[in-house]
Structure 1
Amino acid sequence: MKNIVLNSDSEVIKSFNNNILLVKEDEREKILFQKGIGFGKKPGEIIKKGTVVEKIFIIENEDNQRNFNEIVNRVDSDLIVIVEEVIAEIVDELGEELSENIHISLVDHLYYAIKRLKNNEEIQNPFLVEIQTLYPQEFQLSQKISDRIKKELQIEIPEGEKGFITLHIHSARNNGKLSTTIKSSYLSNAIVQHVEKRLKVKINKKSLDYARFLTHIRFTIERIMTNSPIKNDLIDVIRKRYRLSYKIASEVGKIICKILEIDNISEDEIAYLAMHIERFKVSLSK
Structure 2
Amino acid sequence: MKNSTGDFKIIKVLNNNVLFVLQNNKEKILFERGIGFGKKIDDLISADTHVEKVFSIENENNSNTFKQLVSTVNTNIIGICEEIISMISKELNENLNEKIHISLTDHISFTLKRLLSNDTIQNPFLIETATLYKTEFELAKKAVKMLEEKTNIEIPEDEVGFIALHIHSARKKGELSNTIKYAFLSNTIIEFIEDELDITIDKHSIDYARFITHLRFTIERIINSSPIKNELLNAIKHAYPESYKLSSKICKLLEDELHKKVVEDETAYLVMHIERIKNNTKGSILK
Residue 258 of structure 1 and its aligned partner are, at CA, apart by 2.0
Find the counterpart in structure 2 of residue 270 from structure 1.
Answer: 267
Q: Work out which of the residue numbers 64, 72, 80 in structure 2 matches 1:74.
A: 72
Are residue 234 (structure 1) and residue 232 (structure 2) matched? yes
Distance 1:240 1:115, change over 3 A: same
The residue number in structure 1 matching 2:129 is 131
How far did residue 146 of structure 1 move? 1.5
Q: Which sections of structure 2, spanning at least 5 residues, go unmatched?
A: none
Instruction: Compute the displacement of 1:263 (Å).
Output: 4.7
The answer to whether the 8 Å contact 1:249/1:274 transfers is yes
Which amino acid is 2:71 matched to? N
Whole-angstrom CA distance in 2 between matches of 1:73 and 1:223: 42
Runs of 4+ residues deviating >4 angstroms:
none
Taking structure 1 as the reference length, what is the TM-score of the superposition? 0.92
Unaligned residue ranges in structure 1 (runs of 5+): none
Q: Deviations over 1:160-188 (max 9, x none)?
A: 11111111111111104211110110000
C-alpha contact 1:125 1:164 (8 A) present in aligned 2: yes
Match of 2:102 in 1: 104
Tell me the alpha carbon deviations over residues 93-128 of structure 1, each in whole angstroms, 9 at most, x when there is no partner: 112121111111111001111111111111321111
Deviation at 1:66, TM superposition (A): 0.9
Contact 2:2 2:47 in 1 (8 A): no
Contact 2:132 2:213 in 1 (8 A): yes
Residue 187 of structure 1 aligns with which residue?
A: 185
Q: Confirm or deny: 8 A CA contact 1:10 1:47 kept in the other structure.
A: yes
- Supply the distance in 1 between the matched residues of 2:49 and 2:161 (Cα, whole angstroms): 39
From 69, 89, 92, the equivalent of 1:91 is 89
Is the 2:97–2:170 Cα contact (8 Å) retained in structure 1?
Answer: yes
Letter in 2 for 1:272: Y
Percent identity over the alignment is: 50
2:56 maps to which of 42, 58, 66: 58
Count residues with an aligned counterpart: 283
Following superposition, the deviation at residue 20 of structure 1 comes to 1.6
Is the contact made by 2:62 and 2:102 (CA closer than 8 Å) also made in structure 1?
yes
Structure 1 residue 28, shift from structure 2 partner: 3.0
1:105-184 mapped onto 2 (5 Å cutoff):
105-184=103-182
Report Cα offsets for 1:195-247 as digits up to 9, x if no partner: 11111211111111111111111110111122222222222111111111111
Quote the RMSD (CA, aligned, Å). 1.8
Is this contact kept in 2: 1:68–1:104, CA < 8 A? yes
SS at match of 2:5: coil
Q: Is this contact kept in 1: 2:223–2:260, CA < 8 A?
A: no
Paired amino acid for 1:277: I
Contact 1:8 1:50 in 2 (8 A): no
